Chain A
Amino acid sequence: MERKLTNSSNKLLELKSKFNKDKVKKVLKGSREKDGLIKQIIVYALLICIGFVYLYPILYMISNSLMNLEDLLDTSINWIPSKLYLDNYKKAALNMNYIGTFFQSIVVAGIPTILNVVVCSFVGYGFARFEFRGKKILMALLIFSYIIPPQITMMPTYVLYADLKLVGTLWSFVLPALFGQGLNAPIFILIFYQFFKQVPKVLIEAAQIDGAGFFRSFFRISIPSAVPAIITVFLFSLVWYWNESYLTQLYVNGVFSNGNWTTLIVELKKFDMTYNPQMAMVVDGASSNNNESIRMAATMLSILPVLAMYFVLQRYFVESIDRTGITGE
């Protein structure tokens, strides 16, 4: 009996030495080399919670867009629809004239984007490479042009376009982009400026000694080394033009003068107005017209292309800010 007790107490002692206070403390609180368990749990919990909050609207949108009317009204169904229901997408696509609008959006976003890349790289190079009088003032003007809201120049510009009969055509987007005043162009010019400053001057001087002119040294040396900046500017410009609806609706789509161009985002903005209940009635009886599932489906459809692009090219998006060196030096 006695032996048994001592045996067990011995075991207890052994166990105690294994889990002594310091060790537990070390695991929980962490040492110099390794983060403690408590800290890790807190960090991951925070990140996962915030990540969920970030994804919540998208998840909500996806789940709601797949619900039919009964699921929507049924309070017992919260997230997972009772069956896969794709009619919402069909109706939304029909109403937005999806295929045609999709190609139009690509044109409306794509052409100004290409111009933006070309012109901004040009201007950024001019600022970064050359010393000329009034450079500081012009740089200040560049930043100023980013700070003032476009609303203030909107009226005269609209008048100008109306006089030139450009409202409702793509020219009203092409023209500013051609002259370095496209959407968020100051940011892109600054990105190129930062980037071209990092290209060693020796390289360009060497090319000049070998007989290259200014343009040649720009196209042959600076441009090939600026590929990361070009990719960044291209992607961001494309996404921002794609998501722009305020100016698109005003200039390209034409609020009152009906233009020929429209984009998915503009169609989404006008969705409630243009939605035709007559058509919906044919599809599922007299009871339903526009409901939130259809709206969610339309939203999903309009962001689907950029979402797909993001997941394919995510590396370029996420690393873009590191590469362009906005934060550097």
Chain B
Amino acid sequence: MSKKPKVKKVKLGKLAKKEARFGYVFIAPWLIGICMFLIIPLVQSFQFALADIRMTPFGRLITFVGHENFTQIWLEDAQFPVMLVAYFLETLLSVPVIVVFALIIAMLLNGKIKAKGMFRLIFFLPVIIVSGPVMLMLTGQGAATINSMNTQVIYTTLDRFLPGSLANAITDVFSNIIMILWYSGVQILIFLSALQKIDSSLYEAAQIDGGSGWECFWKITLPTIKPMILLNAVYTVIFLSNNENNAIINIIQSAMFAGNKGYGYASAMAWMYSLAETLIIGIISLILLTRKDAYEKQVKKVKKEMKKQKRALRRARRRGKRNGAKIDKQLKQVARAKK
């Protein structure tokens, strides 16, 4: 206590300190909540995943079993591994479909369209009514597929040159095409409002330089709304994963109350499920983040080039100075000698 640290931190002023304290006051409910409903359950859930939990009349009986739950799921469970792979592939396939579709619709609506409000109304409608049981009822009655689309043909053709699970996933995307389109309501609106915020002078400048609409799309529209694409993709993954139509989360729920499985087994499932989801988000953000667009690359290149030139110029000047000094000296010497 008596020894004071040598480097003093810049102390906050009285007012700033008070402000910081009030900041904590404002977020206090959330902080408590995040401890109570996120961090503690997360730790507990990990403990659960490594344990076998039985409900007995005297309370919960928790025995530590290590990785047994995981090995049991992968080796003995008939459903879960298959469904997890199917979920992984299906989500990875439907996310691009949804995002691209939403982008197309948003582009169409962004033009000069009459009755724009009505179309927006229609495309946003599913967001309001979409929910697990409603979707289940609709798909159950065949309202979710377009009758004239023959998915069997697609399956048989794909099956010839693709592994079965992948062909299955693609066919599923096709057969539930309406549902997939239904999931893109929020994404359309996000894209639409992003498109409307692009500066129109950019397009005008491009047009003067002779850029076609196609070029404008790739060089202006897409790079500008790129962050929104990532946002939408992540939103879509989360939406698809937490959707009640997702078979896996129902399996987890039923495993929770099943006599031979229990909380521990279900926790292990949930952990693997969220790992798969995080993996998908990781893949998507890797794809969307790593590829720098051409413009940025060129700017970097030009900057590098300019730096190089500057350095060369400086060197030349320095050399020139040195040489100049030398020549000056020599000249002076010559002059002195002449005298």
Contacts and interface: CB of A to CB of B under 8 A. Distances in A.
Interface of A: 35, 43-44, 46-47, 50-51, 53-58, 60-61, 64, 119, 122-123, 125-127, 129-133, 135, 138, 141-142, 145-160, 176, 178-181, 189, 214, 218, 239, 242-246, 250, 255-256, 265-266, 268-269, 271, 292, 295-296, 298-299, 302-303, 306-307, 309-310, 314, 317-318, 320-322, 326-328
Given A57-B178, A317-B124, A321-B190, A126 B27 contact: yes
- Majority SS at the chain B contact face: helix
B20 A152 contact: no
Contact of A149 (B181, B194, B249): B249
Nearest to A151: B270
A245 B253 CA distance: 12
Interface stretch (B68-76, B138-146, B301-309, B317-325): B138-146
Contacts, number: 270
- Majority SS at the chain A contact face: helix
Nearest to B255: A155
Given A53-B146, A295-B137, A246 B132 contact: yes
Given A57-B178, A119-B30, A156-B40, A147 B238 contact: yes
Contacts of A321: 186, 189-190, 193
B190 A54 contact: no
B38 A145 contact: yes
B173 interface: no
Interface stretch (B115-123, B158-166, B328-336): B115-123
A326 B190 contact: yes
A129 B193 contact: no
A137 to B, nearest CB: 11
Contacts of B122: 51, 54-55
Interface in B3-18: 16
Given A152-B274, A176-B37, A327-B190, A302 B134 contact: yes
A314 B23 contact: no
B267 A314 contact: no
Given A47-B108, A56-B143, A133-B20, A314 B181 contact: no
Contacts of A317: 124, 127-128
A43 B108 contact: yes
A151 B249 contact: yes
B128 A176 contact: no
B59 to A, nearest CB: 10
Contact of A50 (B105, B138, B140): B105
B44 A156 contact: yes
B217 interface: no
Contact of A269 (B132, B266, B274): B132
B194 A130 contact: no
A303 B134 contact: yes
A197 B174 CA distance: 43
B133 A268 contact: yes
B129 A243 contact: yes
Nearest to A250: B253
